[in-house]
Structure 1
């Protein structure tokens, strides 16, 4: 049964993404990358469950669309932060330049 190893890969991706998200304190780019790993792990788990149940529906496509929208919004915030403050450090938000 290949269902459990694939779900295990998704769980490992979620755990790695959450640990990286909690450990990032300085760079907004690192936070966005860890959120993408987290989203990819959840997508792998959803896809494996839906594929195992043999009902390949549009749930995976909808979740992937939400993940892409999250990435695009995060990238736009990152670009605007770099344009205003000159760096992607979260400490620049506290100083009031944003």
Structure 2
């Protein structure tokens, strides 16, 4: 039973990586796929910690850093939309900054 759950989380992680790579021109979809990867890793971490009877205190640190990552990504998204009008990387010129 545990083997199937591990395969499920590996599938979730790899599908999040695939979406991240395939939607690389759109910043909002990249941020959503990063959050999906973070959630899949969190769920896998919870299952592993429960299986080995460890403390779940480490998950609070993980969630704190993932919230900081999400807030940083959203602030970059808002800054990019304010300066360039959209969140497509094709309209973003690095020489303009």
TM-score in terms of structure 1 length = 0.87
Asked if the contact 2:46–2:56 (Cα under 8 Å) also holds between the matched residues in 1, the reply is: no
Structure 1: segments with no counterpart, 5+ residues: none
User: Which piece of structure 1 moves more, 67-76 or 53-62?
Assistant: 53-62
CA offsets 1:38-70 (integer angstroms, 9 cap, x no match): 111111111100011112331111111111110
Asked if the contact 1:17–1:38 (Cα under 8 Å) also holds between the matched residues in 2, the reply is: yes
TM superposition outliers: structure 1 runs of 4+ over 6 Å? none
| Pairwise CA distance, 1:85 | 0.6
| Cα RMSD, aligned residues only | 1.6
Following the alignment from structure 2 to structure 1, what is the Cα–Cα distance between the partners of residues 88 and 59? 33
TM-score in terms of structure 2 length = 0.88
Number of positions where the alignment pairs a residue of Structure 1 with one of Structure 2: 97
Following the alignment from structure 2 to structure 1, what is the Cα–Cα distance between the partners of residues 15 and 37? 7
